[in-house]
Amino acid sequence: MRSRERTLELIDTQSGGDVSRIVVAGVEPLPGGTVLAKARYLEREGDGLRRLLLSEPYGDPAMSVDLVVEPSHPQAQAGYIIMEAMGYPLYSGSNTICTVTALLASGAIPMRPDDGLQNVVLESPAGPARISVRVGDGRVTSVTTQGEPAFVADVGLHVDVPHYGDVRFALVWSGAYYALIDAARHGFGVTAQEQIALTAFGDAFVRAARPGLRQVHPELGHVGPLPFAHFMGPLRELGPGRWESASATYVHPGVLCRSPTGTGTSARLALLAHRGQIREGQSLETISPRGNRFVGTVGATAQVGDYPALQSTITGSARLMARSQVTVDLDDPLVDASDLEHVLSAQAR
């Protein structure tokens, strides 16, 4: 390999249609005593990696990137840093599902030899993600993950959005701050035919809503401006304690998720519980505009700072798409090496 070329080893996966590229080799060890500290360092000093893998010609902004790093939590088998178009979310359900599937399929975490449930702990920037994996025929068939406790930060908020008028929303934390919006109030059925319109609405809404909204988590500190809007369809009862709902998550700037998203589903559960519409042990199946589904189940109550919070689990599955080595030519004019070169290993491991 020539001295100005670097190699990244990737496992491409998808969960609910959302693609996550898992970086398993080719990046130098990052400074920081926790995965959160490593993520903060990468955001501050090495954001070129995120831009490279989420931009043409190497990637697409609709994808996510998960960098596997050393964990600090004593129970965690691996750590992972999540990168998206909006920046560095502290937790993500679909990215967790994809990362644990890739680590088990590649042997980085040994998979149990027989069929059944396997418990895994990964360390996200938000802390430990406790995961139950169902294994069958030598592959991961489903994943249930418990991540960040969700809490309702504000209700009854509203903002005037150009061309759309007054938009009412609730602000909920579930690994990032989400604005939850009643889709029907604005004429949306959250269907496949509305994806472009929902993306345009989400973009206009986030730009209008960001000024003045909180950017601080009571325990994790500064978390940046509002990154997500979640459009809620009506609830439909499936049976005792079980509901489903059309749902769509907008990621700023300009991405409408293929899946209903794990953190979006957790935020919806927290809001339903806040309204007294759902309780522990009950579940909500969210359905994206493309028909992909996650199941969220209400867990125990918790506390985050001064906020009553809610534990929940998200169940979904991931599929392997590709295993690849990507060559990064640091002399390529399309590669911005200014905050990239120092985080890449001189040779693949």
d(CA 153, CA 173): 7
Active-site residue flag, 92: yes
Cβ 3 vs Cβ 341: under 8 Å: no
d(CA 309, CA 174): 10
Residue 285: CB partners within 8 Å, gap ≥ 6? Answer: 238, 242, 243, 244, 245, 293, 294, 295, 296
Other Cβ atoms closer than 10 A to 22: 28
The encoded tokens of residue 109 equal 């975490």
Cβ 175 vs Cβ 224: under 8 Å: no
One-letter amino acid of 243: W
The encoded tokens of residue 68 equal 């596997």
Catalytic residue among 15, 92, 259, 312: 92
Other Cβ atoms closer than 10 A to 189: 12
Indicate the SS3 state at residue 305. coil
Indicate the SS3 state at residue 253. coil
170 CA to centre of own chain: 19
Active-site residue set: 92
